[in-house]
Structure 1
Amino acid sequence: MTGRVRAGLSILAVVFTAYLAIGGMVWTGRVDMPAIFVAALVLYLVTTWLCIFWEAAPRTRRGGEAVLQRSAPLPVWACVFALAATAVIPSATWYSVAEAARLESFATWTLGGVGALLTIVMVRRRPLVAWAGVVMLAAASSAWIGPVNALTLGAVGAAVWVGTAQLLTGLVDRAALDTAELTEIERRSSEWLASQEGRRRERRVRVQQALALAGPVLTRTIESDGRLSAAERDEARLAEGALRDELRGPRLLDESVRAKLHEARRRGSIVTVLDEGGLDGVSEEALERIRGHLARALEGAASDRIYIRTSPHESTAVTVVGRSHPGDDPGDEEVVDLWHEIPHEPAAISDLDA
């Protein structure tokens, strides 16, 4: 329920209860104790308006996975106050007027007035309190003006008002929950569509990069029917390596890193770049620092094999390992001649640079 609708209904409730109270002031019969009569009217207005406005701001609630707004339940002390007013107001009104005037409209206003009060209590999500008040009102009115007169002059109407309020409140809550669930579904659908659109854009970028990297080599291969010169074969090898980098580790790449990888391959190194997780949720600023450090780590690297991998460790972002044969014999066991760990924290990166 929007704020404007809630404010409009509150104003309507105030006007209606004030109208009922004014009707009680139109005395068409003898009032033996006007002070008590007026005090009952004042108590009625205070109690009713307190139940309308006290902590009436909506609260956020969760129905399943849907978030919805509902008015706050009436505080317990206010419920006790409303029940006390329900018990006092009818008896005080009929006690203050002459016995012959107890069936006059200005004396029976309490049936409608207290019925409106209990309807407000029901709307404020206190159904047990509201129905207890209906029972109290029926008992008091039957004692003062008789059961038949109580039923014909407003007790039934009060019960109907409270029951209707309970039904409408339940329907409104159900509608609000359905609306919140539909909103949640729509939000998820929008997120899914946005993610799909992002993936499509990323695929288009990857295709464009692949065409830019491998397109000239493939064109030359087709034109020469596969008969490439040694230089062209080297270019094809470099293009293949760059394309693998774009597919396997795009978050590790910028222009500087790409240039260093290209230089390492030019020197004869076999470079493997793998993004195996660990950079999820890392900000773009942090990625830029990591890429800068990676480019510096690859400066002049001449290992036979260079492995660049993201790390799942909470403190290490990227590991760079270089392995080479110590001699000319290819059968010799490789040794590690390059080792860099790039941490997540910028302070640790600065310490390594120093």
Structure 2
Amino acid sequence: MITVPRGLVLSLAALFSTYHVVLGTYSLNQPRTPGPAALAIAAYILATVLSLWPNSPMRMPLWLASFNVAVCVAMPLLVGSQLDGAADNGYATWYVAAVGTLMTITATRRRPALAWVGAAALIVHTIVWAGPAALGSMGVIGSAVWVAVAVILARALAKAGRDARQYALAEREATDWQAAQEAHLYERQVRLAQTIRLAAPMLRRIIARGGVLNAEERQECRYLEAAVRDEIRGRKLLNEAVREQVMAARRRGAIVTLLDEGGLDDLRGLELENVLNTLAAAIGGTTADSIIARTAGDGSATAVTVVGLSSADARLSALGQESPEPEVDLWLEIPRSPLPAR
């Protein structure tokens, strides 16, 4: 979005205001008594300096906007009280343009209601003091038009700013969505490549034998199917060490379940490898019949929870005794920053 430097805008407004002060000072000899006009000039200078202060916020404070309105009400009263409304006062009516400039600044700084109050006060004073015909000859209509244009532009710029922020937010969301889609696509490609690496030799063997497999080969297919499921459900719980220990546990008859629910997404590099190596060591070091490894939730100090269950002694059932519940053979909570597994 194209922006105008604030310093340039303030400089232009200061030049316009200075021009009005020069006109007011130049015409001090026209009023019957110059004191009220000089007081009006001083009040106008103070209001302008406060309104154009460089470090002030964009939205003018309410007290300052009210002060500007009070100055715009006082200037016509002070200067007009020393002039003849029926005569051609020339530059002595400098306050008309000054009120328009000050109220334009007020409207630009997001106080349009009070800017209209100041402009309305100037119109009412002119009609009462010099008659309706003076609205055009003294430039009151022009000052009101300035205020109107400032109000319209301020609203248009505010709307443009809101639209720009909404567009920027939409662009960030679109970028995040695209990055997420690319990440999902990359992960799918990685998982597919890993699945092909695992299953391709057995698939070729099945094709070569026409689907006729012996018992050992059928059991190997079941192991491969479980490994493929691990690639889908285990995700970041897998590295070569974990895959090796999981397959070894299954070959000895254990049931292994790996569940990655996103708890490791923030781990990278050595931290993730340490967690996975600790998990592999835990799976390889237990004789449990059922092993479950699950990632912990976000914000937890634990990265992975590993549970190993051993079935009850079958001899108890043979003797007619009630079989006890499975025993916990392994319970391990792997922290997010464990020591490297040996």
Q: TM-score range by the shorter chain?
A: 0.7 to 0.9
RMSD in angstroms over aligned alpha carbons? 3.3
Normalising by structure 2, report the TM-score: 0.82
Query: Which residue of 70, 85, 92 maps to 1:84?
Result: 70
**Structure 1 residue identity aligned to 2:172:** R
Alignment of 1:157-196 (within 5 A): 157-196=142-181
Unaligned runs of 5+ in 1: 58-70
Matched residue, 1:65: none
Distance 1:334 1:315, change over 3 A: same
Q: In 2, distance between residues paired with 1:335 and 1:81?
A: 83
Deviations 1:240-284 (CA, angstroms, capped at 9, x unpaired) = 222111111112222322222122123332222223x36276544
What is the CA-CA distance between 1:239 and the residue it aligns to? 2.5
Matched residue, 1:18: 18
**Structure 2 residue identity aligned to 1:47:** A
Normalising by structure 1, report the TM-score: 0.79
Q: In 2, distance between residues paired with 1:301 and 1:227?
A: 35
Alignment of 1:255-266 (within 5 A): 255-266=240-251
Contact kept, 8 Å, 1:29 with 1:101, in 2: the verdict is no
Contact kept, 8 Å, 2:28 with 2:38, in 1: the verdict is no
Contact kept, 8 Å, 2:75 with 2:95, in 1: the verdict is yes
Q: In 2, distance between residues paired with 1:100 and 1:156?
A: 17
Query: Which residue of 268, 290, 293 maps to 1:305?
Result: 290
**Structure 2 residue identity aligned to 1:335:** P
Q: In 1, distance between residues paired with 2:36 and 2:97?
A: 19
Matched residue, 1:152: 137
Contact kept, 8 Å, 1:111 with 1:155, in 2: the verdict is yes
What is the CA-CA distance between 1:104 and the residue it aligns to? 2.9
Alignment of 1:1-354 (within 5 A): 4-27=4-27, 30-34=30-34, 36-53=36-53, 56-57=56-57, 71-72=58-59, 74-95=60-81, 99=84, 103-228=88-213, 232-233=217-218, 235-275=220-260, 277=261, 279=263, 282-284=266-268, 287-288=272-273, 290-311=275-296, 317-327=304-314, 335-342=326-333
**Structure 2 residue identity aligned to 1:112:** A
Deviations 1:288-319 (CA, angstroms, capped at 9, x unpaired) = 55434322321332223323234559676424
Distance 1:259 1:187, change over 3 A: same
Q: In 1, distance between residues paired with 2:15 and 2:336?
A: 64
Distance 1:256 1:35, change over 3 A: farther
What is the CA-CA distance between 1:128 and the residue it aligns to? 2.1
SS at match of 1:106: helix
Q: In 2, distance between residues paired with 1:28 and 1:303?
A: 103
Q: In 2, distance between residues paired with 1:81 and 1:209?
A: 74
Contact kept, 8 Å, 1:260 with 1:295, in 2: the verdict is yes
SS at match of 1:53: coil
Contact kept, 8 Å, 1:318 with 1:343, in 2: the verdict is yes
